[in-house]
Structure 1
Amino acid sequence: MSEFDDATALTAHSDGTYSATLSDDWSIGDAVNGGLLMSLAAKAVSDAAADHHPHPLTFSAVFLSPGAPGAATVAPTVLRTGRSMSTAEVVVSQDGTERLRALVTMGDVSAQAEPIRKQTPMPVFAPIEECIAADNAPPSLAQAGLLKRFDLLMDPETVGWAMGQPSGDGEMRAWIRFADGHEADPVALLTFLDALPPVAFDLGAQGWVPTIEFTGYVRAVPAPGPLAVRLRTSTVTGNLLEEDAEIWDSTGRLVAQSRQLASARFPA
């Protein structure tokens, strides 16, 4: 069993809820990664929804409080089941405090994957052998449990922020896969959409950058191999910015995309 399987393991209960354990191994600072919470929620919905609707197609969430290591309850409510899709609400909570509330649409992503009528082409990434490993990240990040779960290689053109020289372009690019070699599936793509350092760092932001709202789409089952992720932002007002993520698999196919609104702290 992979580290990701362990982290998203669920125990079903007769009342329709599930219990899980959030691990510090998936934390940044004191908070468990929001992407892991989303994958955990999607996995519970997949179990509760129709058998022929195994994959998250859309995931729209508000983050109400940071997840912490320890026991968690996942409560999905199936709102509608159709022939090709099911829709559910799901709440992740700890000790009665809601961490995440989301609406999820489930289906068979493979049934919607062809033909490709239009897709965003994969941009140019530096070759993997020229990229910078997360081991070389600033100590505050390199010691985070989350980064140890991934083989993360940053494109050197977008890593100046880690050396105190943010470009101001608001873009990051990286190759990523699970450190234990586990291949990503559609549920895991939700974690990968939120796995990179915040793009706000490339604008000089400091400290924690919490997600306020997230909307993600899974577009295909990824082919085996490393994933290419691009983060971008175009609008920053006050302390709020949007972060757009796109993921391509090893064949160059776009397999997931998202937009989130986040809050960042910038130097005065």
Structure 2
Amino acid sequence: MTQGMTTTAAIGDSEFDRDTAVTLREPGVYDAELSAGWTIITAVNGGYLLALLGRALGEALPHPHPFTISAHYLTASQPGPAVIRTEVVRAGRGLSTGQASLFQLDEEGREVERIRAVASYGDLDALADDVRTTATPPAIPPVEQCFGPDDSPAPIPGSSAITDRLWLKLDPATLGWALGAPSGKGEMRAWFGLADGRDHDPLSLLLAVDALPPTAFELGLKGWVPTIELTTHVRCRPAPGPLRVAITTRNLAGGFLEEDAEVWDSADRLVAQSRQLARAPRG
């Protein structure tokens, strides 16, 4: 990797791969273990959960890569055992569509649905090279001019177990919240990678769109920002190296906000886009 990262873990050998592993129980049904290492406060991170569902759907569908996946987060997931039930809705020549739901047992032993997702899968490696875009990569300073959790003399507000598994270098222009002076702009930008140096693939892009501190922090709000719905489009397989992630919020109303994310790879290609609706913290 370039820009301050060193590749150590290969795809398939990293903590991310182990913690998103699924085990086939019976056709279409997979067992999983939600790791406490990907929690924010007490809840499991939504991007990690999306990657877990994405892996199960990749096992169930005839095509290998998520093109688009939309997930509704029904109840907060907790670390521990889970079961994912999948269904193949349609298997076409170029695209296949399926749905997946993740369940956990509550304190009384009743099964509770945590997330429900619908996705279309295809083969990113078979896509044409034609690109026509007006999108441009986010203007983020070089890595050495950006800051991560380890650069702060005190714990960054809102940090959690997930930060130990990520390599994050935040744009100083979006770090006012950590210094007690939020900008009010609803923007967050960062260099992004996995802490063990694993290169990115389509599944890790599902994590990347929801792994930065919430834009609500730069709006002067503090606390958990739970995802209600998250839709992600994977546009191409990312090149080796760190990603650049830019997230913006333009409208907070009625206690809810949207976050639009763009993910760019080291070859200056837009590799993923997402939009989510989230509940704003009350702080």
Give the corresponding residue for 2:88. Answer: 78
Give the corresponding residue for 2:9. Answer: none
Cα RMSD after superposing both structures: 1.2
Q: Which runs of 4+ in 1 moved over 4 A?
A: none
Q: 1:126 aligns with which of 141, 156, 165?
A: 141
What is the one-letter code of the residue matched to 1:67?
S
What is the one-letter code of the residue matched to 1:44?
A
Q: 2:34 aligns with which of 16, 22, 38?
A: 22
Number of residue pairs matched?
Answer: 264
Give the corresponding residue for 1:69. Answer: 79
How far is the alpha carbon of 1:140 from its aligned partner? Answer: 4.4
User: Deviation per CA, 1:182-203, whole angstroms, max 9, x where unpaired?
Assistant: 1110011001111001111110
Q: 2:263 aligns with which of 233, 247, 257?
A: 247
How far is the alpha carbon of 1:16 from its aligned partner? Answer: 2.2
1:218·1:256 contact (CA, 8 Å) conserved in 2? Answer: yes
Query: Aligned partners of 1:113, 1:227: CA distance in 2, in Å?
Result: 22
1:138·1:162 contact (CA, 8 Å) conserved in 2? Answer: no
What is the one-letter code of the residue matched to 1:183?
D
Task: Say if 2:282 is the partner of 1:263.
Answer: no
SS at match of 1:13: strand
- The 5 A counterparts of 1:186-197 are 186-197=202-213
SS at match of 1:141: coil
Query: Aligned partners of 2:65, 2:200: CA distance in 1, in Å?
Result: 13
Give the corresponding residue for 1:117. Answer: 132
Calculate the TM-score normalised by the size of structure 2: 0.90
Calculate the TM-score normalised by the size of structure 1: 0.95
Q: 2:114 aligns with which of 80, 99, 121?
A: 99
Deviates more, 1:56-65 or 1:8-17: 8-17
Task: Say if 2:219 is the partner of 1:209.
Answer: no
The sequence identity of aligned pairs, in percent, is: 49
Task: Say if 2:45 is the partner of 1:33.
Answer: yes
Give the corresponding residue for 2:158. Answer: 141
1:113·1:220 contact (CA, 8 Å) conserved in 2? Answer: no
- 5+ unaligned residues in a row in structure 2: which ranges? 1-12, 106-110
1:119·1:254 contact (CA, 8 Å) conserved in 2? Answer: no
2:148·2:170 contact (CA, 8 Å) conserved in 1? Answer: yes
2:60·2:86 contact (CA, 8 Å) conserved in 1? Answer: yes
How far is the alpha carbon of 1:236 from its aligned partner? Answer: 1.0
Deviates more, 1:131-140 or 1:5-14: 131-140
Query: Aligned partners of 1:119, 1:3: CA distance in 2, in Å?
Result: 36
How far is the alpha carbon of 1:208 from its aligned partner? Answer: 0.5
Query: Aligned partners of 1:8, 1:243: CA distance in 2, in Å?
Result: 24
Deviates more, 1:114-123 or 1:41-50: 114-123
User: Deviation per CA, 1:109-166, whole angstroms, max 9, x where unpaired?
Assistant: 2323521122511021111000011222744434x11111111000001110111111
- 5+ unaligned residues in a row in structure 1: which ranges? none
Give the corresponding residue for 2:173. Answer: 157
